[in-house]
Amino acid sequence: MDDQARAELAERAAAAGATVASDAFRTAVEVETKADAEPVTQVDRDAQRRVTEVIREERPDETVVGEEGETPKSIPEGEPSWVVDPIDGTKNFARGSRTWGTSVAAVTPDGVAGAANVFPAVDDVYVVGGNGLGPESAGPRRNGEPVAVSDVDTPEEALVGPLMLWTRDRRDEFVAALGETARRFDDVRRVGSAQAMLSRTAAGEIDGTFTNLSPPPWDTVAGVALVRAAGGRVTNLDGDRWSPDDRGLVASNGEIHDALREAAAALPSGGDGE
């Protein structure tokens, strides 16, 4: 299967999972609490099951890395795999807030072959892959139209925010992140979905996002591919090219990256968050 076919399958699978979730949105959904204190609903599980079914119709032997259940939690080395978040933004979903989505990334030994972040409640679909990651590509797209990162180059004019929430016992880092953002940048943005923050950075809706935590692959891989393909930059706290095993993630339009990385590096030493 070539990269273009993988990208198309990622989009179909994400759309299928998003349909399952959308059908249950703003209905009476029971919210459970996982061992890591994160919320989960039966809809999360059903949507992940549907995404997996669509993938395995064509790639039955490839690993699906998923947030829910007993699926693998890390990307295998040296083989194709699929990274799935059935509902990124479960808290929003459960409260009837529209910012949540289904994320699927197709990963190969060469990198991300394609990815899709589908946000059905706001009618936005972000995709990249196949030709969209190549030098002669049309680039990443939102609802079929090309997108690119912003050209804001002055931190005091930039809209940025934390990528994700810190656990209750590390809220001092959350407070510090908000303070660093308020001091260094124009305004704070946090929408309750890491993939939405990354997608909106890719589309120039915001100028960057950061964390000193170690976000899991389902919260990051698709969005990182979008940001990079849209002309942005994604690194760890040391400024090296980000990979899923890194602690810390800084994603930006490139122009404000150093300032954003300095803000992330100024936070207290942290652990893992949502």
- Name the pairing type of β-strands 233-235 and 249-252: antiparallel
Residues 77 and 183 in one domain: no
- Name the pairing type of β-strands 159-162 and 39-41: unpaired
117 sits in which H/E element: strand 111-119
CATH number of the CATH domain containing 237:
3.40.190.80
Instruction: Kindly indicate the confidence band of residue 182, based on its pLDDT and cuts at 50, 70 and 90.
Output: very high
Extract the tokens encoding 124: 């936005």
Contacts of 28 (CB under 8 A, 6+ apart): none
- The answer to whether residue 173 sits within a structural domain is yes
- The answer to whether residue 66 sits within a structural domain is yes
Count Cα atoms within 13 angstroms, Cβ side, for 191.
23
Single residue among 79, 106, 138 that ends a domain in this structure: 138
Instruction: Kindly indicate the confidence band of residue 271, based on its pLDDT and cuts at 50, 70 and 90.
Output: very low
Instruction: Kindly indicate the confidence band of residue 272, based on its pLDDT and cuts at 50, 70 and 90.
Output: very low
Summarize pLDDT for 235-247 with one digit per residue, the tens: 999 999 999 999 9
Residues 98 and 179 in one domain: no
CATH number of the CATH domain containing 67:
3.30.540.10
* Side chain identity at residue 273, one-letter code: G
In the chain, the number of structural domains is: 2
Residues 208 and 238 in one domain: yes
Residues 171 and 257 in one domain: yes
Rounded distance between C-alpha atoms, residue 133 and residue 129, angstroms: 5
Please report the pLDDT score of residue 274 as a whole number: 40
| Locus of tokens 């923050």 | 197
Rounded distance between C-alpha atoms, residue 229 and residue 147, angstroms: 9
Instruction: Kindly indicate the confidence band of residue 36, based on its pLDDT and cuts at 50, 70 and 90.
Output: confident
Residues 188 and 108 in one domain: no
Q: What is 204-247 written as a DSSP string?
A: TSSSEEEESS---GGGTHHHHHHHHHTT-EEE-TTSSBP-TT-S
User: What mean pLDDT is reported for the chain?
Assistant: 93
Summarize pLDDT for 12-26 with one digit per residue, the tens: 999 999 999 999 999
Total-model pTM:
0.94
Extract the tokens encoding 142: 């939102």
Alpha carbon of 116 to those of 85, 154, 189, 245: distances in Å? 11, 30, 22, 21
Mean pLDDT of all residues in 81-89: 98
Summarize pLDDT for 190-231 with one digit per residue, the tens: 999 999 999 999 999 999 999 999 999 999 999 999 999 999
Summarize pLDDT for 139-170 with one digit per residue, the tens: 799 999 999 999 999 999 999 999 999 988 99
| Domain extent for 39 | 3-138
- Give the residue among 159, 185, 173, 175 at the shortest CA–CA distance from 214: 173
- Other CB atoms within 10 A of residue 40 CB: 20
Residues 126 and 167 in one domain: no
Mean pLDDT of all residues in 124-136: 72
- The answer to whether residue 143 sits within a structural domain is no
- The answer to whether residue 274 sits within a structural domain is no
- The answer to whether residue 234 sits within a structural domain is yes
